[in-house]
Amino acid sequence: MLKAPTGDTECVAGLALFDLDNTLFDREAVFAVWTKSFIEANRLPPDAWSIIKSTDEDGFKPRDLFFSEIQEALGVTTSLDELLDCYYVDYPACCTVDDETVEAIRNLRASDWKVGVVTNGPPSQWAKFEATKLVKEFDAICISAVVGARKPNIEIFQEASRICDVPLEGWMVGDSASDDIGGGRQAGLRTIWIARGRRWDVSEYEPDAVVATVSEAASVILGLVSTTDS
């Protein structure tokens, strides 16, 4: 699925920023792999899957609350500290990134775009980049807990711009309507929404493009998709 941007598609190298979970990584798939391992390790019943998934809230629930509720709902007796320690080691190890995504990022950099990541989350987000060997693929990696600013606030976008040493002009790509599209717009960036099979339902504003993959987003940024390809 690819909805072309509604404005001029002329390609001018600048700043291309990406969200992390459910943008560069398929978080749903990663969480499924981790959950299967967690259920097996803790000898939980088959219906534990649905409880864990609903408690997770697509990753938005703080991990300490997530595991506290899992302990109560499923009778897990392992201490909260141990659960968290294991999670921050085991979960990043489940992360994978497809070759098309890596190629898309490399194509942008080869075309003189500065490419960065802006993600909300704890410092442990860094482990996902190390596990997938993505650190070297980006000019800037900004994690909210590390830089002291969260999307949709403009400060985290400004920090990525500062690290890349380019003006805050270009694109923001992500799956969150508020954090990525709303935040990117507030920062003066054009925006690309990773739809994940959803329909856009925000009436106040729209992304400049709607795509299914990072590869499609890169094609938009590089001007390879015309306004007639909607």
Percentage of the chain exceeding pLDDT 70: 92
Rounded to an integer, the average pLDDT of 127-146 is 95
CA–CA separation, 27 and 158 (whole Å):
26
* 11 pLDDT above the threshold of 70: no
pLDDT category at 12 given cuts 50, 70, 90 is very low
> What is the count of structural domains for the chain?
2
19 and 36 co-located in one domain: no
Instruction: Name the DSSP letter for residue 222.
Output: T
33 and 20 co-located in one domain: no
Rounded to an integer, the average pLDDT of 112-140 is 95
68 and 165 co-located in one domain: no
Exposed (0-12), middle (13-18) or buried (19+): which is 229, by Cβ within 10 Å?
Answer: middle
117 and 200 co-located in one domain: yes
Q: Which has the closest alpha carbon to 68: 87, 93, 40?
A: 87
Residue 226 lies in a domain: no
85 and 136 co-located in one domain: no
Rounded to an integer, the average pLDDT of 158-170 is 97
146 and 175 co-located in one domain: yes
* 28 pLDDT above the threshold of 50: yes
pTM: 0.87
pLDDT, residue 225, reads: 65
68 and 163 co-located in one domain: no
161 and 86 co-located in one domain: no
If one counts every other C-beta atom within 10 angstroms of the C-beta of residue 36, the result is 12
Residue 194 tokens read as 């990773």
Domain that holds residue 67: 28-93
Angle (CA) 40-41-47 rounded to 5° is 40
Residue ending a domain, choose from 93, 115, 133: 93
Angle (CA) 154-127-138 rounded to 5° is 55
* 3 pLDDT above the threshold of 90: no
